Amino acid sequence: MNRVLWSLVTPEAMSVVNWPDGSVLYNARTTTTTMLTRTAGAIVARLKAGAADTDALAGLWPADDDLPLLELLDALARHGILRAAD
């Protein structure tokens, strides 16, 4: 798997609440909420603790998920939630 290091764009401003069927992300900087899948919410919650590489995030990925992990990470990056860390 690709060993890119990922981090949240504004971790100090982001809060995530997870439920069994999904998650909600609140960004205090933009005052927006975003509905996320349960897996996306788990990734955001993990990245609140600090940057992680793709291999570490793959451990949060359910085996029965049809969407490739890299596509989800790219989608979260396009929405300004996370980025490839420097």
For the stretch 17-69, pLDDT in tens is 999 889 999 999 999 999 999 899 999 999 999 999 998 998 887 766 677 88
pLDDT reported for residue 43: 95
Q: Is the pLDDT of residue 3 over 90?
A: no
pTM listed for this prediction: 0.87
Q: Cα angle vertex 31, ends 35, 29, to 5°? A: 115
For residue 81, which of 9, 4, 7 has the smallest C-alpha distance? 9
Residue 82 exposed, middle or buried by CB count within 10 Å (0-12, 13-18, 19+): buried
pLDDT reported for residue 2: 56
Please state the domain extents for the chain. 5-81
Grade residue 74 by pLDDT with cuts at 50, 70 and 90.
Answer: very high
Rounded distance, CA 25 to CA 23, Å?
A: 7
